Amino acid sequence: MAVHRKVIFEKQWFYLDNAIGHIYGTTFEVSSGGSLQPKEKMEETTTDTKEAGTDNRNIVDDGKSQKLTHDDIKALKDKGIKGQEIVQQLIENSTTFRGKTEFAQDKYIKKKKKKYEAVITIVKPSTRILSTMYYAREPGKINHLRYDTLAQMLTLGNIRAGNKMIVMETCAGLVLGAIMERMGGYGSIIQMYPGGGPVRAATSCFGFPEFFFNTLYEFPLSKVDSLVSGTFSSETLPSEPEYNVPVEEERNGSLDEKQTLTQETEEESSTEAVVESNETEEQETMDLAAEDTEYKETKEKGNKENIREKQRKQQERRRKLVETAALLEEKNADGLIVASRFHPTPLLLSLLEFVAPSRPFVVYCQYKEPLLECYTKLREKGGVINLKLSETWLRNYQVLPDRSHPKLTMSGGGGYLLSGITVTAEKVQSDASSLEGQKMEEPTSKKRKLQELHC
């Protein structure tokens, strides 16, 4: 966690310095200046307003029930009065509070606390929290993948520790992080990615320890066809343009030219060292040339170190890609998860080649039609059983004493899932051919029996 890092959350801003060393679940109060102070156990708002009305039919929301103005509330904040005391002042200066029902009073207090009490609780990141946050705030980044649909994917995909999973997702790394969390750092995960590299913005928010990433591999989608056809080799791996050697040669040439120029200037200065003014000017030029060469030498050393670092990273990347290709070529993955913005049919048909028989696969898509096409293609090709196209239905409930009911607003849709289990296609075809052969043989045997009876 960065020291003196400013965080802006909704309408609050604060620094996380004082949060270091506290456990997850600690509640802090944001004091003046944005510093966090651990808050004692939450105290109930003690008010003498135990009176409550029977119903709210006579209450009119005309904006005149509150005696305190915005300037008065601002003045209370400037004096350093805490949010709990401001809420108490609002209750005392409300002309309609006593006439509200008990439930309405609780709702009013809760609303004012949220507005005026600067209290935050730091919780441990999890799949449920991050998926709920992404779906509520930025659903487009996760292809509108709802949290209950993600839970269904993890269940249907049989995600567990020790698995060898293949993941293809464009959900900012949320699906990848959910799989890593469930596997607990045991097993191996191969992430297929489009473009130049994988996107793991949500994965970094989980706060996984370093050893979780030791079993995470990545492989570009552009190399899948060559891997399936058997033409893949390390020579075809993407590499950076080889411009390092020419650049060094140019730099060495420029340095040689600079050295010859300085030698010429030194010869000229020795021949023309007659007048004192010329000597001082030549001395200044020599000093500048020396400083320039020193600067060039230090810059050259830094560039050489950068070039070596790039080459080392490139070699490490090549080694990891070769290891990932070897894992895929074993074709014994324990499952396949696909959740991307691309059409699922070509992705699924190509990636199923690396999955072992009797293993589950799950495909997510925001729309039903691409999965219907994928379902038809799989039925035509064979090699899969128990194909199911499903949609999860979600309704949130308010659970409170004497007022539990479904919430008025609910999600319109959380996407669709296509799931199934892989089987060995060759055995199925051989069994089918033997059955057809038996059916073809039945008429000839019956004819022979009839001939024997007639004889």
Tell me what pLDDT residue 351 has: 93
Q: What is the dihedral of CA 71, 72, 78, 81, to 10 degrees?
A: -150
Comparing CA positions, the residue from 186, 85, 172, 83 lying closest to residue 131 is 172
Percent with pLDDT over 90 in the chain: 33
Backbone angles phi, psi at 13, to 5 degrees: -135, 145
Q: How many angstroms separate the CA atoms of 22 and 120, rounded?
A: 13
Tell me what pLDDT residue 193 has: 92
Q: What pTM did the predictor assign?
A: 0.71
Q: How many angstroms separate the CA atoms of 30 and 52, rounded?
A: 33
Q: How many angstroms separate the CA atoms of 179 and 269, rounded?
A: 73
Asked if residue 265 lies in contact with residue 285, where contact means CB atoms within 8 angstroms, the answer is: yes
Tell me what pLDDT residue 252 has: 44
pLDDT average, residue stretch 21-26: 86
Q: How many angstroms separate the CA atoms of 187 and 215, rounded?
A: 7
Helix extents (H) in 358-424:
369-381
Asked if residue 169 lies in contact with residue 342, where contact means CB atoms within 8 angstroms, the answer is: no
- Parallel, antiparallel, or unpaired: how do β-strands 216-220 and 188-193 relate? parallel
Q: What is the pLDDT of residues 45-75, one digit of tens each?
A: 444 445 776 677 777 777 777 777 777 777 7
Q: Map out the domains of the chain with their CATH numbers.
A: 6-42+56-122 (no CATH), 127-234+312-391 (3.40.50.150)
- Which residues touch 76 (CB under 8 Å, ≥6 apart)? 85, 86, 89
The pLDDT of residue 157 is above 90 = yes
- Which residues touch 427 (CB under 8 Å, ≥6 apart)? none
The pLDDT of residue 186 is above 60 = yes
Asked if residue 336 lies in contact with residue 362, where contact means CB atoms within 8 angstroms, the answer is: yes
Q: How many angstroms separate the CA atoms of 88 and 108, rounded?
A: 12
Q: Which residue has better confidence, 102 or 147? A: 147
